[in-house]
Amino acid sequence: MPTQRYPTTPDGRYFVVRGRLWRCTDPSLSDALRQHWVHALMDARRAVKDAKANDEPDQLARARAQVQAAKVALGERGPVWWGDGSPDFNRRMAVNTPYAEWFQSLDPAQ
């Protein structure tokens, strides 16, 4: 099964899923550091799943905090990783942002 590829904004800051912008990982991270945090994120997501399955609210809170920490370390949440002063449009619908024209020009089959 081929890997699905989501469209990425021309400036490389976001990818789009079902019309919503999601912040990309900070491209300045070294491969080793990025991989470390991706593994930490996957472990934290598994911990969230397990805590939900076992109805463990304290474990769930800790696991969600670990997800947040990994996402911030990857640059996907928290302070933006670009330095030009542009605002963050993370989690916004693309059509309601300055990326609207670009998004509407995409091939709908993508």
Count the domains in the chain.
2
Q: What is the pTM of this model?
A: 0.86
Mean pLDDT of 17-43: 97
One domain, residues 32 and 67: yes
pLDDT reported for residue 5: 83
SS3 state of residue 72 = helix
Mean pLDDT of 87-96: 97
* Count of alpha carbons within 13 angstroms of residue 95, beta-carbon side: 5
Quick check: 95 pLDDT over 90? yes
One domain, residues 33 and 64: yes
H-run or E-run covering 40: helix 31-53
| Domain carrying residue 50 | 28-75
Quick check: 13 pLDDT over 90? yes
Quick check: 2 pLDDT over 50? no
Mean pLDDT of 70-99: 97
- Cβ neighbours, 10 Å, residue 70: 21
One domain, residues 90 and 108: yes
One domain, residues 40 and 70: yes
